[in-house]
Amino acid sequence: MVTITDVGATYVLVLLLFRAPMGDIPWTHTFVLRYSLVAVATLLLIHGAFGTISDEYYYGLEIFSIFNTISAYIMILQGKTYQDEDLTEKVAIVTGANAGIGLEIARQLAQMGAHVIFACRSKERAEDAMKQVAATTSSSKLEFMALDVGSLASVRAFAAEFLKSGRTLHILINNAGVNHYRRHETVDGFEAMLGTNFLGPFLLTNLLLPALLRADDGRVVNVGSCVMKWATKIPFEDLNTKHDYGTGQGVYNWTKWANYLFSQELHRRYADTTLTNMHPFLNTLAHWFNWLRPFLQQTGEQGAYTPVFAATCRHLTGGHYLARSEIEELPARFVDADLAKRLWDVACPLVGLPKDYFPTPTFD
């Protein structure tokens, strides 16, 4: 006979087994140990491993198991842990804001009063997304600007149009990205994940720096993924991955790591300015587990909490790697300053920037 305890305890253990290997929950974390031990203990007790239990204790364990399961779900797929800020006078750009996490990030920023620019490829999809956000937030400060992060020409055109408007940029959230299992190239001839996940955001951020540096507390948020922890190296000898593509997962992993190294070098270069940059990561499961996502992965709303926290929390300083709206310390190999500088120097000529590119604020 399958009991409620069987179902609940198994769910908790499966949830932990999925999430801890992804890198966002350390195996030694207190609640990982607590929930796993409780799940195993209730299973053993309910099935008489320590002797027969009375009906009173049996039903008590069933109720306890329900509460443990609900508590584990809430704690592991953590909800919002911060207060909304007043963003009434601020301008935010969110790339890939037409769907998924990007849409939810845009919605939460709009809810706080920001003027949100939906930087997307499809005007039609962006306008549909803006209607959804307007309906739930009553915001009228929503704007579409065409941007294909995988095209350097599109990135340059977008940045030029924004700078021409003379507006100060307070928040830039580099959210758009791709994950391909077969090799594709961008219009510029770069491997698609290299071009879209790293080079596009790298160029966009650099070109928008004059507007970001005008803000009292300009924020750059590079949305990452916990799978960057699986990356073993940045393949400088074959950045375009022409010889060792495999399933593409390894390429995705290191392009996300590259984005984090970009965040580190950006922080080093602009540490003495008003610019703050963050690198929150999202928790992603492989595409073949789609049917399990509602049970094992954060929802769009939950997934947006950490990027929004990074973009709005007044007390955060730059250069951090954020997990679950908290600063996480990474192993030393992921925060290699020399590697970050080398990657920056390699990326600049690829996107057409001089290595000594160092813009200053522009004012009307």
**Pairing relation of β-strands 326-327 and 219-222?**
unpaired
Any bridge partners for residue 173, and if so which? 94, 221
Under 8 Å between Cβ of 176 and 117: no
Structural domain includes residue 86: no
Residue 319, domain CATH: 3.40.50.720
4 or 280, higher pLDDT:
4
Q: Of 8-17, 81-90, 91-100, 215-224, where does mean pLDDT reach its minimum?
A: 8-17
Residues 6+ apart with CB under 8 A from 45: 53, 57, 61
Distance CA 206, CA 214 (A): 14
Active site residue 35: no
Amino acid at 330: L
Task: Say how far apart CA 228 and CA 264 lie, in whole Å.
Answer: 14
Pairing of strands 224-225, 276-282: parallel
Full domain range(s) for residue 269: 91-351
Instruction: Point out the domain boundary residue: 76, 106, 131.
Output: 76
Out of 11, 35, 245, 252, the active site residue is: 252
d(CA 117, CA 143): 5
Give the integer Cα–Cα distance in Å for 174 and 101. 11
pLDDT-derived band at 102 (thresholds 50, 70, 90) equals: very high
Q: Is residue 55 part of a domain?
A: yes
pLDDT at 286: 40
21 and 147 share a domain? no
Residues 71 and 95 in one domain: no
Number of domains composing the chain: 2
On whether both 322 and 298 belong to a single domain, the answer is yes
Question: In this structure, is residue 298 part of a structural domain?
Answer: yes
User: What's the confidence (pLDDT) of residue 296?
Assistant: 42
Per-residue pLDDT, averaged over 71-84, amounts to 64
> Are 22 and 153 contained in the same domain?
no
Whether 148 and 259 map to the same domain: the answer is: yes
- Cα–Cα distance, 321 to 221 (Å, whole number): 10
pLDDT, one tens digit per residue, over 104-114 is 999 999 999 99
Give yes or no: residues 48 and 146 share one domain: no
Alpha helices in the chain (DSSP H): 4-22, 30-46, 55-76, 100-111, 123-137, 152-164, 192-193, 200-212, 249-269, 293-296, 300-312, 337-351
Helix/strand/coil for 337: helix
pLDDT digits (tens, 9 = 90+) for 275-318: 666 655 554 444 434 444 444 444 566 678 888 988 998 877 77
CA distances to 95, 158, 223 from 173, in Å: 6, 14, 7
Q: Which residue has the higher pLDDT, 17 or 264?
A: 264
